[in-house]
Amino acid sequence: MLLTSEEILKFVREQGIEMVDFKVADLIGRWHHVTIPVSQLSESTFTDGIGIDASSYPGYKKVAAGDMKIIPDSGTCIPDPFGELKTLSITCDIFEADGTPYLRYPRNVCRRAEAYMTATQKGTALFSPELEFYIFDDIRYASNTQHAFYYVDSIEAFWNTGKQESPNLGYKFPLKGGYHGIPPADTTFNLRSKMVKLIEEAGMPVKYHHHEVGSASQVEIEVPHNTLLRAADAVMLMKYIIKNVAHQSHKVATFMPKPVYQEAGSGMHVHQYLSDGEVSLFYDQDGYAGLSQLALNYIGGLLSHGPALLAFTSPSTNSYKRLIPGYEAPVNLFYAAANRTAAVRIPMYDVNRQRARVEFRPPDATCNPYLALSAMLMAGLDGIENKIDPTAEGFGPFEIDIAEMAEQQRANIKTLPSSLEDALDALRDDHSFLLKGGVFTEDLINAWIEYKVDKETKPLRARPHPYEFELYSDI
C-alpha cells in the first residue's frame, strides 16, 4: 500500500493491527526482521527509526562500528499474511547513526541507479523478473568433517514411479517433461494459486503461474514490469510469500539454480526496457526484431559487461551448475530473437510499441535483486552512452542453436564465466561502469567479492564432494 506515515498510523488504528514488522535486507539478499507492538509505533518511528547492530548482518559493518538504524519506507507496507496476530509489514532502509544513507545498503543502490538514469537518459527503466523454483516434499543435507550429502524428493518426480505410496497412482512427470503439465500430475497447482492470491493481495499483479520443465515440481510465477526499486522489492516479497505458503503446506520452496542433477535449472530471467510512459523506447518497427538502436546499444552494454554482471546476477557457486550447455542455459554471450540459448533474448510473442523489450537470461534468484537489477541497468546505460553495437562486437544475432553451428564459427562466440570464481575475477577487472554516478562504490564491490570468496568459494573448494568418492576412493 502506498501510504504516508500519517495514513499508516490511521490504518493501524482502524484495522486493529497488533504488531508492526520491519524487514531489512543484508548485502547477500536475505531479509531480517524486527517487530514492535503497535503501542510503540509513532510518527517518530518514520523519522528516527529503530537502532540495530548492523555487524550481525552479513556483508555490513564490523563489530566496532555496528550501530546503525533502520527507517521504514512508508510506501511498502502490507498486512503480513503469516502472523497469528494482525501484523503490518514494512520494508526498511539502513542509515548511519548520523542519519546519512548507508552506501552499502542495496535499496540505496537502487535509488542511486534510478537517479543516475534520470540524469543521463530520458524515460524510466522497467523490469519484470520471472521466478522459477522447485517445491520439494523433503529436503535434507549435511556437510561435516566425516560426511556430506543432500537428499531431495518430490511426489511428482520420475524417480518415484515405483515408490510404495499406498497406493501409487502414477501420474509422475518424466525427466525434464513437466513444462505446462496439468493435474493430477501437477500436484502444486492449488498451492501456486494460493501463493499468487497472496502476492496479488500484497499489491503485485501476477501475469501467470505454471509448471516448469523440471519433473520434481519445478514451477514459475511471473509479475509484470515495474520500476527498478519496486521490481526488486517485489522479488524479495514474492520469495517470502512463496516460502511461507509452501511451509504451511509442509513443503519447501527452494530458489537454488540447480538442486537436481540432470533436471532443468531454475533461473530468474529479467525482462527490461526503457519507457517514456506511453511507449517503449526500445521499439522500432523497422529495426531488428522490432528493436530501436537505443535497445541494441543497451544490449551491447549487457553483453560487453556480461562476465562481470554475473558476479551479481548469478552469484552462487550453484549458479554455475545451471549455466552449462544442454538445458536451455544461456552460456554464450550473444543476442537473438526468440532464441532461448542466447544470453539476451528478444521475446517475439509480444513485440509492440508499448512493451518492446529484451530479456537477460543468465540471472537466478540467489541474487540480491537490488544489486542485480541495478547492475544490469548500469551495464545497459553504459552501452547507450558508448553506443556499443552488439553486432560489431561479435555478439550476434545468431538465430540457430549454438550446438548446431560449425565448430570454427562457434569458437568465435564469447562465453560466460563457468564458475563463481571466474565471475568475481571479471568483476574485479570490469566495474568502472558500475561506479558512474556513485551508484555502486569500490567499498561495496570489494565487500561483495570478499564475502563471496571467504564464505562461499574457498570453503566449497576445501570440501570433498560425494562424487569424488565414486571417482577416486578405490584408486
Q: Which listed residue (26, 130, 233, 421) is catalytic?
A: 130
Task: Write down the catalytic residue from 80, 114, 156, 212.
Answer: 212
Give the position of cell 549454438: 402
Could you report how far apart the first and last alpha carbons of the chain are, in Å?
63
Active-site residue (options: 192, 225, 322, 361): 361
- What secondary structure does DSSP assign to 212-257, as a single string? -S-TTTEEEEE---EEHHHHHHHHHHHHHHHHHHHHHTT-EEE--S
Q: Is 303 exposed, middle or buried (0-12, 13-18, 19+ CB in 10 A)?
A: buried
Spatial separation of the C-alpha atoms in residues 202 and 172, rounded to whole Å: 33
**Coil, strand or helix at 422:** helix
Q: Is 132 a catalytic residue?
A: yes
The one catalytic residue among 114, 359, 364, 456: 359
Q: Quick count: other Cβ atoms within 10 Å of Cβ 266?
A: 28
- Positive or negative torsion for Cα 463, 469, 472, 475: positive
359 is catalytic: yes
Is 361 in the active site? yes
Tell me the C-alpha to C-alpha distance, in Å, between residue 138 and each of 163, 186, 216, 252.
15, 17, 11, 7
Amino acid identity, position 58: P
Catalytic choice (80, 156, 186, 220) = 220
Q: Is 165 a catalytic residue?
A: no
Q: Is 269 a catalytic residue?
A: yes
Which residues neighbour 204 within 8 Å (Cβ) at sequence distance 6 or greater? 223, 234, 237, 238
Instruction: Tell me which of 6, 53, 276, 442 is the catalytic residue.
Output: 53
Q: Is 328 a catalytic residue?
A: no
- φ, ψ for residue 91 (rounded to 5)? -80, 140
CB atoms < 10 A from the CB of 44, how many? 9
Tell me the residue type at 96: E
Active site residue 212: yes
Choosing from 80, 114, 132, 186, the catalytic residue is: 132
Clarify whether 340 is annotated catalytic. Answer: yes
Annotated active-site positions, please?
Answer: 53, 130, 132, 212, 220, 269, 340, 359, 361
